[in-house]
Structure 1
Amino acid sequence: MTSLEAAALWVGLNALLLIFLSARVGSVRMKHKINLGDGGNDAMTKAIRTQGNYIEYAPAAIGGLVLLALLNAPVVGIHLLGGVFFFARVSHLLGLGMGVWPMGRMIGTVLTMLTLLVTGLWLIWTALV
């Protein structure tokens, strides 16, 4: 597997996660008959924020993976960053979005920031060296 193929795997998995998060928003909208906004409904607010939070961070993480792959970063590095980011976002979903893992939101947030930090520093290092 090349680094670009590894990045493609994680981009694909993240695309599926986004579809799932978006479907959850639509499902909660239909269940509670909320056409626009959150309607003051806690479940709707959580679904919207879980999807929105993902959308806020995923472009930088996914873009970073693709750039690192294009710069021939090692496959194992792509898998580590991609895997940790994906685990982070699923953890966040389980914590905030679904409320089934109370620590999930915090773990997801910390691991998301960690993957962005490592990705950003790695890209800067690669550009300057």
Structure 2
Amino acid sequence: LLKRMRAQGNFIEYAPFGVILLALVEFSGAPALAVHLLGLLLVIGRALHAWGFSAPPPVMIGPVFGMILTLTIILLSALGLLLYTLF
């Protein structure tokens, strides 16, 4: 139960930030394909994270790859917005 609570808490901490960055990327005029790919990777990352914790014997590769994908999306979105603002 504690792991599931932590997985849900992790979702609440990272998903809104990713969605806000995704909206900012869209509002900045990024191509639709880029926005869709970022959104798809965010959903896959969060699903992997949840799957890893909810599997009967916990599969720790799920949360690891899920967090890597989520943090990659956040980093790419932030970098793209920064470059768009500067240039």
TM-score by length of 1: 0.62
Please tell me the residue identity of whatever aligns with 1:82: G
Match of 2:12 among 55, 71, 77: 55
1:55-94 superposed matches below 5 A:
55-94=12-51
Distance 1:54 1:84 in 2: 14
Gaps of 5+ in 2: none
Distance 2:81 2:12 in 1: 21
- 1:99 paired with 2:55, answer yes
Larger radius of gyration: 1
Distance 2:52 2:66 in 1: 8
**Displaced runs of 4 or more, over 3 A:** none
**2:71 matched to which residue of 1?**
113
For residue 48 of structure 1, report the CA deviation from its aligned partner: 1.2
Query: Cα RMSD (Å) of the superposition?
Result: 1.3
Gaps of 5+ in 1: 1-42
- The percent identity for this pair of structures is 34
RCO (CA 8 Å, sep 6+): is it higher in 1 or 2? 2
Please tell me the residue identity of whatever aligns with 1:68: V
Match of 2:3 among 31, 46, 52: 46
Distance 1:50 1:64 in 2: 21
For residue 99 of structure 1, report the CA deviation from its aligned partner: 2.3
For residue 119 of structure 1, report the CA deviation from its aligned partner: 0.7
